[in-house]
Amino acid sequence: MTPYYSDDSVTLYHGDCREVLAAMPDQSVDCVITDPPYSGNTHENTRSNSHGAKRHGNRVLSGNFGFDAVTGDDVRAILGECGRLTRRWVVANLDYRHAVPFHETPPAHLRLLRVGVWLKTNPNPQISGDRPAQGWEAIAYMHRSDSRPRWAGGGKAGNFVLGSSQNIGHPTSKPLGMVSQWVEWFTSPGDTILDPFAGSGTTLRAAKNLGRKAIGVEVDERYCELIAGRLAQDVLDFGSAS
């Protein structure tokens, strides 16, 4: 497959990540840092605000987010492929409905070592008004099941209190400071990081800023264009993490 974008540090593919991952050899990257789409339930709940979420068979389409939901089985299968490809860690922002079952039955090749929390300081309101807003996302810290985990965080907790990124051009862009912290904790300079759900390109930008290589896959060409522009910028924005 021809890259949509490439430079000395980053290669970005436009396409279905399942096809790209299937063509990659075992243990060909050092770490996976990614952010799969939300569950169908989350997308359906956006209808109270935008009336944009529609059901087609087992798929829930777009809503406020502008991209398709995925099922728990989809997430498990794709993260299992990531487990095959990584030499060490898989770190993923996840809908808690996807993350919690991984304690008992993790994706192939992986074990779940910890579930962290990203507590948002600027969460979206609960439009229906009949319950508290969610205000947080799960972070699944997983490692290959056949090797001993190591990281550079010492005894620190894997939790973050940060605002959502604004005005990036993608509805669920993650804070660059949080993703940069993961890059520093779970990889070394020169390592290769994979993000099969590249989105706005935050993982790829963090990897490039911190002297790592990265491979990204994004199914939506609108966001490939956004990522390419973001990676081409000379100014490095390291953000902040708490």
What does the alpha-carbon distance between residue 195 and residue 57 come to, in Å, rounded to a whole number? 27
* pLDDT-derived band at 16, boundaries 50, 70, 90: very high
What are the angstrom distances between the C-alpha of 235 and each of 26, 168, 205, 209, 230? 35, 15, 11, 10, 10
Residue 66 has pLDDT above 50, yes or no: no
Which of 6-10, 127-131, 173-177 bottoms out in mean pLDDT, i.e. has the lowest? 127-131
Residue 64: pLDDT over 90: no
Judge whether residue 226 has pLDDT over 90: yes
Average pLDDT over residues 136-157: 97
**190 assigned to some structural domain:** yes
Does residue 129 sit within a domain?
yes
Structural domain for 202, as ranges: 5-232
Q: pLDDT value at position 60?
A: 35
Residue 201 has pLDDT above 70, yes or no: yes
In a domain, 153, yes or no: yes
- The burial of 58, by beta-carbon neighbours within 10 Å (0-12 exposed, 13-18 middle, 19 or more buried), is given as exposed
Residue 44 predicted with pLDDT over 50: no
CATH of the domain at 201: 3.40.50.150
Question: How wide is the angle at C-alpha 240 spanned by C-alphas 236 and 242, nearest 5°?
Answer: 160
pTM of the model: 0.85
Cα–Cα distance between 31 and 98 in angstroms, integer?
20
Q: In this structure, is residue 239 part of a structural domain?
A: no
State mean pLDDT over 108-112: 98
The predicted model gives 12-36 an average pLDDT of 97
* Arithmetic mean of pLDDT over the chain: 86
| Mean pLDDT of all residues in 11-25 | 97
> Do residues 69 and 52 lie in contact, with contact meaning Cβ atoms separated by under 8 Å?
no
d(CA 106, CA 72): 12
- Interhelix angle 176-186/202-209, rounded to 10 degrees, is 60
> 237 in a domain, yes or no?
no
Weakest mean pLDDT among 53-57, 70-74, 108-112: 53-57
Q: What residues contact residue 21 under an 8 Å CB cut-off, 6+ apart?
A: 78, 81, 82, 85, 196, 217
* 137: nearest Cα among 166, 104, 94: 94
Tell me: pLDDT of 125 over 90.
Answer: no
Q: How many domains does the chain have?
A: 1
Query: Residue type at 109?
Result: H
Angle at 77 between CA 112 and CA 144, to 5 degrees: 35
pLDDT at 62 over 90: no
Query: Could you tell me if residue 242 is inside a domain?
Result: no
